[in-house]
Structure 1
């Protein structure tokens, strides 16, 4: 057996492995989309799953052709919801960052109300101004 026969066997094996892994990715995407779809009732989901088990390649191909556009829309909708939730979490965690003039105005209000003394006011003012530098 020559080295080239082994080489082409290896290439053929990689091709089949790639096709199988690509099929698994498509299968998991289809199953995830089935359970993400709120409009499809449970019986239709069960029918799709049964066909995916017994006629996997044909069912996956039909699902991608028939429901591919809706699949993309549901995926985009979920991505948008996750992104909005992340942005809201970041806003809540980071809090509102006031400008130095806002911080100085708040400190001045505290000074005027008598809650802090002149030295504390100067310290807050210096801290607010140091954030701009």
Structure 2
């Protein structure tokens, strides 16, 4: 039972750094495979580099392609959001009246298909169109 408080703190810190490392590694690998601008050979090369030298591979990837990771994720989220609203039957103000679109949004929110945050974002888009 002789385990000082500082050792407990250091053990917890190393454990959480280890978890953060794996999250970062999987995030980079996911970005490699989702990037449409990379060829198959490029994806294979980055994957081998990340598996053989994971620490160096992640650092080099973040330096070389890190800026685009956020842009690719934002574009993917915009595409996903537009597909969601299109599948829900919303045109976000194009071709129909704003009142009708707001009515459909309220109906979706009342049925629980949209959260309050999604409703507010869609309402803002309808009113801005």
Tell me the secondary structure at the aligned position of residue 24 of structure 1.
Answer: helix
Matched residue pairs, number?
Answer: 93
TM-score norm. by structure 2 comes to 0.64
RMSD over aligned Cα atoms: 1.9
Larger-gyration structure (1/2): 1
CA distance in 2, matches of 1:46, 1:6: 46
CA distance in 2, matches of 1:17, 1:84: 39
Structure with greater proportional helix content = 1
CA distance in 2, matches of 1:61, 1:30: 10
CA distance in 2, matches of 1:84, 1:43: 31
User: Residue in 2 aligned with 1:49?
Assistant: 47
Flag the structure with more relative contact order, 1 or 2, with Cα contacts below 8 A and sequence separation at least 6.
1
- Map 1:60-99 to 2 at 5 A: 60-91=58-89
TM-score norm. by structure 1 comes to 0.62
CA displacement at 1:6 relative to structure 2: 2.6
**Runs of at least 5 residues in structure 2 that lack an aligned partner in the other structure:** 91-95, 101-129
User: Residue in 2 aligned with 1:20?
Assistant: 18
